[in-house]
Amino acid sequence: MLALTLIAMLSVALAATHSYDTGTKQLTFNMKKGWNLLPVGIEGPPVFADNTSMGAVFIWIPVSGKYAGGIVKDGSVVSNDDYSQQIEAMKDYAPFSMWVYLKRDVSFTSYAITNQKVLTGEGAPTRLAKGWNFVAIWPFMVGLDVQDLFANCTITKANMWNAETQGWQQPSSTQAAQNMSSQVRESDVGETMLVYAASACELSLVEKEAMTPPALPE
């Protein structure tokens, strides 16, 4: 299994795009004109219903390997697919994110989380489908080693989106799937990891116990 360099790779590059207040449990996003990844479960600001700001919304459905969504008009997604049904189909999968296209820069603080499971992890879904998965980083993941989080999965490719440059952080996604043992930090909450699972699996939300015997005395 390949562990991930995702946390170290993005912490510096995207630190200014969001912040997490551990006291109020609120997330502040500084979203850019163009494409942004926003964790599903956050109640968006009223500006998202403004046609002059919001352009489109899409979610990746890993089971079918396609997008669902479309342009936004008067606060609703105009789509040929049953968008709400597609989101319902994702309820058993690990916390994920959606693509949001903005016509201008937008900053907002989320005052409501629509799914409390993503804050505590208690009963939160953990499944990943074979292939690409968007995994949102939530508070219950803080403190876990990235390699422990994906201990039950074989991740062959990984990447993260940079809204500032409107491009992927790594030109080759395989470069992000290298050995490391970084911890998920509070400053990472709100980010999105794109990972490619070799087969269906589940995230591991339990830290590995230390199995190394005590050192011998000198």
Q: Give how many domains the chain has, as a whole number.
A: 1
Q: Which of 38, 31, 33 is nearest to 16 (CA)?
A: 31
Within-domain flag for 61 = yes
Work out the percent of the chain whose per-residue pLDDT is above 70: 77
Using one digit for the tens of pLDDT, what is the confidence trace for 167-195? 998 766 776 555 434 788 888 888 999 99
Domain that holds residue 26: 6-202
Within-domain flag for 208 = no
pLDDT profile of the chain (218 residues), mean per 10: 47 61 85 92 74 86 86 75 72 87 89 68 84 91 87 90 89 58 82 93 74 71
Sign of CA dihedral 98, 62, 5, 174: negative
Query: Which residue reads 């916390």 in tokens?
Result: 95
Within-domain flag for 38 = yes
Residue 48 is encoded by which pair of tokens?
């998202």
Using one digit for the tens of pLDDT, what is the confidence trace for 23-42? 887 888 999 999 999 988 87
Within-domain flag for 173 = yes
pLDDT, position 81: 66
Secondary structure of residue 121 in the 3-state scheme: coil
Within-domain flag for 216 = no
Within-domain flag for 217 = no
Within-domain flag for 154 = yes
Within-domain flag for 120 = yes
